[in-house]
């Protein structure tokens, strides 16, 4: 049994469906079922003003959601009944809210200023964070300036980050999003999958003399990462005629497992630390972000952290009904639990944010895909939704038909940057017009009784998030907002959003099956799995 939650939320032991706040929302949902957003807007000129939140460089418009101010008020009452405020404080202060793993959850400390104070088990976390940051900055500066040279004395031109899950999603997203800030000489690549063609294609084109491999793995035991890292290391050592000293010029480790890094052959001066209280999917702000820092430079990486910190402060201090991450979380919960929408989609109108949906899939679905509460009892309501997405306008030509006229209702998060250094004004206006047009069409629909296939019922909700520009600071704000969205829902459902035991069973079975495939052993499996194993071994010969 998991340890009881150390959060101060005593009401978490109560079945959420028995709370008055829950019952009131259920009753309210019945009233809301018949209401069309179009009509709500016609009756209320001030709706956009009241239901949007403007921070200095980001605007979140919640007004196209199927909520009224009464809905928001009932949702904040539920949040209060589940002690959301106390749970937020517990997370920020370093309480061990990841109770199954007995860990604090402190990605917020990774972006806190140097004069902040947070301790875990008597250790000054902020001091550790800033000491690591300064070491990362020295490394990034040396690589960027050319002071860091490869084994044959050449400057580094290519960074290859080998890692999977949280050890690739965040940095890959951030590096792509901030490609406009990239160092001219340095190209950054990401390898995650153990599927061989990805690695093969990349390594064939890169020169080992000028390549730096970053092995990003908190545990430093993840099989895909270790497999790919070993292939890269062996290839490099072979290239240098078996001289293993080359590893110290071409390999860096980002990990919490010092012994495993040492055993792999990476010297401790090339290792940048992580701590138990950094969850993999919340780790882009830590050493895991090194590839991004090298690409965009330490100054811009600091701006990225500062943006996230600004969102942290907003989340911590703004009233729930004017709080961007809280409203994202509460409205999402309303859809999941009271209007029975099983999914949401995030559509960034920016190619640089192409990896945002994948990053969010891990952040949300690995965090809140849970069926047991923090107290170890089955949950009584639906938890984390399915998350998916693709950039616009491309996605308008793929799955948007389904959003407009399909039989399921899927709320949308539209994200766009108003200003761009690229293209011309007309291109950018076209992009923004498409973004706004989609949310308008989803909401208002279009009547056509003559040609029912042209009828759009509308009433399909969305949130629009507008960044002034896609800068490091604003990207930090955006990602932190989504992290807190996930937290809000998990806290109210009373689940532990910070463990991921659901990924372990498949990993263990894969080990067994791998041995069987390699050694052609017959294991004990169901008829389907055995049949597939036989088919593979026979086909391979």
- Is residue 281 within the footprint of ligand F6P (CB under 6 A)? yes
Per CB under 6 A, which region of 159-167, 338-346, 416-424, 489-497 contacts ligand F6P?
Answer: 159-167
Residues with catalytic roles: 366, 397, 507
Per CB under 6 A, which region of 164-172, 204-212, 234-242, 490-498 contacts ligand F6P?
Answer: 164-172
Q: What distance lies between CA 247 and its chain's CA centroid?
A: 31
Q: Which of 225, 337, 368, 496 contacts ligand F6P by CB under 6 A?
A: 225
Task: Please report how close the Cβ of residue 196 comes to ligand F6P at its closest, in angstroms.
Answer: 19
Residues 6+ apart with CB under 8 A from 279: 98, 105, 107, 166, 498
Side-by-side strand order, sheet with 343-348: 52-55, 58-61, 462-469, 412-419, 343-348, 386-388
Residue 168 near residue 216, CB atoms below 8 Å: yes
Residue 467 near residue 349, CB atoms below 8 Å: no
Distances (CA, A) of 162 to 5, 94, 184: 35, 30, 22
Q: Which is nearer to ligand F6P, 106 or 164 (CB)?
A: 164
Task: Please report how close the Cβ of residue 232 comes to ligand F6P at its closest, in angstroms.
Answer: 15
Q: Which of 5, 7, 52, 167 contacts ligand F6P by CB under 6 A?
A: 167
Q: Which is nearer to ligand F6P, 61 or 224 (CB)?
A: 224
Task: Please report how close the Cβ of residue 325 comes to ligand F6P at its closest, in angstroms.
Answer: 21
Give the closest residue to 6 by CA, choosing from 115, 107, 94: 94
Q: Which of 99, 172, 222, 337 contacts ligand F6P by CB under 6 A?
A: 222
Q: Which is nearer to ligand F6P, 107 or 460 (CB)?
A: 107
Q: Which is nearer to ligand F6P, 74 or 480 (CB)?
A: 480
Q: Which of 217, 286, 292, 295 contacts ligand F6P by CB under 6 A?
A: 217
Q: Which is nearer to ligand F6P, 281 or 473 (CB)?
A: 281
Residues 6+ apart with CB under 8 A from 473: 57, 303, 304, 306, 307, 310
Q: Which of 94, 150, 165, 392 contacts ligand F6P by CB under 6 A?
A: 165
- Is residue 166 within the footprint of ligand F6P (CB under 6 A)? yes
- Is residue 65 within the footprint of ligand F6P (CB under 6 A)? no
Q: Which is nearer to ligand F6P, 171 or 297 (CB)?
A: 171
Per CB under 6 A, which region of 160-168, 234-242, 307-315, 428-436 contacts ligand F6P?
Answer: 160-168
- Is residue 164 within the footprint of ligand F6P (CB under 6 A)? yes
Q: Which is nearer to ligand F6P, 84 or 226 (CB)?
A: 226
CA 103 to CA 504: how far, in whole Å? 19
Task: Please report how close the Cβ of residue 293 comes to ligand F6P at its closest, in angstroms.
Answer: 17
Per CB under 6 A, which region of 44-52, 177-185, 219-227, 395-403 contacts ligand F6P?
Answer: 219-227
Task: For residue 468, give the 3-state DSSP assignment.
Answer: strand
Residues 6+ apart with CB under 8 A from 97: 5, 6, 7, 87, 90, 91, 104, 105, 496, 498
- Is residue 368 within the footprint of ligand F6P (CB under 6 A)? no
Residues 6+ apart with CB under 8 A from 248: 266, 267, 269, 270
Residue 185 near residue 155, CB atoms below 8 Å: yes
CA 416 to CA 419: how far, in whole Å? 9
In 427-526, beta strands by DSSP E: 462-469
Total site size for ligand F6P, rule CB under 6 A: 14
- Is residue 280 within the footprint of ligand F6P (CB under 6 A)? yes
Q: Which is nearer to ligand F6P, 174 or 410 (CB)?
A: 174
Task: Please report how close the Cβ of residue 144 comes to ligand F6P at its closest, in angstroms.
Answer: 25
Token pair 């990053």: residue: 359
Residues 6+ apart with CB under 8 A from 299: none
- Is residue 84 within the footprint of ligand F6P (CB under 6 A)? no
Instruction: Tell me the DSSP string of 47-70.
Output: HHHHTEEEETTEEEE-TTSS--HH
- Is residue 103 within the footprint of ligand F6P (CB under 6 A)? no
Q: Which of 73, 93, 100, 219 contacts ligand F6P by CB under 6 A?
A: 219
* Torsion angle, alpha carbons of 284, 289, 291, 297, to 10: 120
Per CB under 6 A, which region of 42-50, 186-194, 212-220, 242-250 contacts ligand F6P?
Answer: 212-220
- Is residue 503 within the footprint of ligand F6P (CB under 6 A)? yes
Residue 176 near residue 352, CB atoms below 8 Å: yes
3-state SS track over 399-436: CHHHHHHCCCCCCEEEEEEEECCCCCHHHHHHHHHHHH
Q: Which is nearer to ligand F6P, 98 or 463 (CB)?
A: 98
Per CB under 6 A, which region of 19-27, 215-223, 377-385, 471-479 contacts ligand F6P?
Answer: 215-223
Residues that bind ligand F6P in the complex, under the rule CB under 6 A: 164-167, 217-219, 222, 225, 280-281, 366, 500, 503
């Amino acid at each position: 049994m998991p340890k009881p939650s150390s959060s101060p939320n005593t009401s978490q032991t109560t079945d959420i469906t028995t709370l008055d706040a829950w019952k009131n929302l259920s009753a309210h949902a019945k009233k809301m079922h018949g209401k069309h957003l179009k009509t709500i807007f016609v009756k209320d000129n001030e709706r956009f003003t009241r239901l949007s939140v403007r921070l200095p460089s980001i605007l979140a418009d919640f007004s196209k959601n199927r909520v009224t101010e009464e809905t928001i008020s009932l949702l904040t009452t539920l949040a209060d009944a589940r002690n959301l405020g106390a749970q937020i404080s517990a997370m920020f202060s370093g309480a061990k809210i990841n109770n199954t793993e007995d860990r604090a959850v402190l990605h917020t400390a990774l972006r806190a200023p140097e004069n902040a104070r947070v301790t875990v088990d008597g250790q000054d976390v902020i001091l550790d964070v800033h000491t690591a940051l300064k070491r990362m900055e020295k490394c990034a500066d040396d690589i960027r300036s050319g002071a860091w040279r490869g084994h044959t004395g050449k400057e580094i031109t290519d960074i290859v980050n080998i890692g999977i899950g949280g050890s690739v999603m965040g940095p890959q997203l951030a590096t792509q999003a901030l490609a406009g800030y990239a160092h001219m000489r340095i190209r950054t690549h990401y390898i995650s999958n153990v599927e061989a063609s990805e690695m093969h294609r990349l390594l064939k084109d890169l020169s080992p003399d000028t390549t730096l491999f970053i092995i990003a793995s908190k545990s430093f035991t993840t099989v895909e990462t270790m497999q790919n890292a070993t292939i890269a290391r062996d290839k490099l050592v072979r290239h240098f005629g078996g001289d293993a000293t080359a590893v110290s010029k071409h390999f860096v480790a980002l990990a919490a497992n010092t012994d495993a890094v040492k055993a792999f052959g990476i010297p401790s001066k090339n290792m940048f630390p992580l701590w138990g209280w950094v969850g993999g999917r919340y780790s882009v702000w830590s050493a895991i972000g090194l590839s991004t820092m090298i690409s965009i430079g330490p100054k811009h990486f600091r701006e990225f952290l500062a943006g996230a910190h600004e969102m942290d402060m907003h989340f911590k201090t703004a009233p729930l009904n004017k709080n961007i991450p809280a409203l994202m979380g509460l409205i999402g919960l309303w859809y999941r639990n009271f209007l029975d929408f099983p999914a949401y989609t995030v559509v960034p109108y920016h190619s640089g944010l192409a990896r945002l949906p994948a990053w969010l899939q891990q952040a949300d679905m690995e965090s809140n895909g849970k069926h047991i509460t923090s107290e170890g009892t089955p949950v009584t309501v639906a938890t984390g939704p399915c998350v998916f997405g693709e950039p616009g306008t491309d996605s308008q030509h793929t799955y948007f038909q389904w959003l407009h006229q399909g039989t399921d209702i899927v709320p949308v998060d539209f994200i766009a940057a108003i200003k761009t250094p690229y293209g011309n004004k007309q291109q950018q206006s076209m992009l923004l017009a498409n973004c706004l047009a989609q949310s308008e069409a989803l909401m208002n629909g279009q009547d056509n009784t003559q040609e029912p296939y042209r009828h759009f019922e509308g009433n399909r909700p969305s949130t629009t998030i507008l960044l002034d520009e896609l800068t490091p600071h604003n990207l930090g704000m955006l990602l932190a907002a989504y992290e807190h969205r996930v937290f809000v829902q998990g806290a109210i459902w009373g689940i532990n959003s910070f463990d991921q035991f659901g990924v372990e069973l498949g990993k263990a079975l894969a080990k067994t099956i791998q041995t069987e495939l390699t050694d052609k052993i017959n294991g004990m499996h169901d008829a389907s799995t055995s049949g597939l194993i036989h088919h593979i071994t026979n086909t391979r010969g």
